Amino acid sequence: MTAALQIAAGPTPNSAAWFRNRLIRDGICRAIYEEMERDSSIYLFGEGAQMKVHYDAPDIERDFGNRVTTLPISEDGNTNFCVGTSLIGLKPIVDVITADFLFRTMDSICNTAAKINFVSGGSEPARTIVIRSEFMVFGPTTGQRLESLFTHIPGLTVVVPSNPTDAAGLMKTALRRKGVTIFFEDRMIPDATTKEEEEKKVRDVPPIPFGKSKIRRQGLDVTVVSYGLTLRQVEHLSEKYGLDCEIIDLRTVYPVDFDSIYESVVKTGNLLIIEPDIKYAGVGAEIAAFMGERCFGLLEKPIMRLGAPRSTIPTSQFLHKEVLVTDKKILAAMITFQNKLTCSNCGKSQFEILEEEKPETIKCRNCGQPRASSRGEKA
């Protein structure tokens, strides 16, 4: 199969797709509705909670409006309030709107909610608390990602779904289990990347267990581990260019499904970790360290990681794009592991991205032939 390997134009920070992901939110809201229908102890709290339900989930407003409460502009107080409601038997969902506001809730989440199920000495039953927030864009105080930060706190489970079906199933698990869940909605994922079957499968989705990843694509050359925004990018590039890679969607960044990653690396012999969060001391670093300890001798090439730089998010939407893990960076990394991708001119399998070309293309390092490339047959 011959492919030009030009990177298709994806959503940019000034496109409408960046401002609102409707489909994943629909999956979350559908799951909440179905759980509120079966469990009268589930309540929704948060700043502007009633307004958000009005626009995002009118069914909840219509059928369960008495269980939706708008709280003051006080993120830390609101979270502590929800901890209190859990002590009288409710299952609160507290909406903190954007991930950046979670900094205002750190004491109530990390010192109160996360430890509420540990400090009672077994005299009280474990409580269910869901803290919901969103990844947004544009600016140093509205575009940060905090998922790896919360993985360091005992007592917290951290969820980042990449599609509507997973969002629905994971939310149901969060509301049925005993424990505290930080549930992130990645609004940077464009609706256009959602597959039709994923969009339709949001009703009556069964609960998806935490700590169980999903293999999104089978492959032999490299195991690609990702989640959220970058997972959708990896899927798009591998499907468009026919790259031979096994794609694992973490779904929860704590706990991590290390067993499935290990089994895949045993098969492929290579590991590429791509995360939308800051690369330094992130989820990918933990996976790389764990796999390095467990299967170093099985690796054909060194583990490779991609992630955002440890830098402040710029206010400019165009500069924000530059600190993301771009399609170009992902494609370049994936190509280095492709044993079956061969040049149609000389038959070699070494390629590199042409920096000077717009849109970006690849060229053969052996003969310099640009663009023309083909996949050989599987060995």
Q: Is the dihedral of CA 40, 42, 45, 48 positive or negative?
A: negative
What distance in Å separates the CA atoms of residue 341 and residue 53, rounded to the nearest whole number? 49
| Strand pairing category for 91-95 and 128-135 | parallel
What distance in Å separates the CA atoms of residue 279 and residue 273, rounded to the nearest whole number? 10
Domain total of the chain? 2
DSSP 309: -
Does the residue 325 lie in any domain? yes
Does the residue 135 lie in any domain? yes
For residue 315, the model assigns a pLDDT of: 83
pLDDT digits (tens, 9 = 90+) for 209-237: 999 999 999 999 999 999 999 999 999 99
What domain range includes position 272?
A: 216-339
Q: CB 245: neighbour CB atoms within 10 A?
A: 24
What distance in Å separates the CA atoms of residue 220 and residue 133, rounded to the nearest whole number? 36
Strand partners, 45: 69, 94
In percent, the amount of the chain with pLDDT more than 90 equals 64
Distances (CA, A) of 114 to 96, 134, 284, 303: 16, 20, 23, 33
Give the domain CATH number at 261: 3.40.50.920
Full-model pTM: 0.86
**pLDDT higher than 50, residue 376:** no
pLDDT digits (tens, 9 = 90+) for 247-277: 999 999 999 999 999 999 999 999 999 999 9
273 with 179, same domain: the answer is: no
101 with 20, same domain: the answer is: yes
Q: How confident is the model at residue 343 (pLDDT cuts 50, 70, 90)?
A: low
pLDDT digits (tens, 9 = 90+) for 77-125: 999 999 999 999 999 999 998 999 999 999 999 999 999 989 888 788 8
Exposure string (b/e) for 72-96, b if CB count within 10 Å is 16 or more?
Answer: eeebbebbbbbbebbeeebbbbbbb
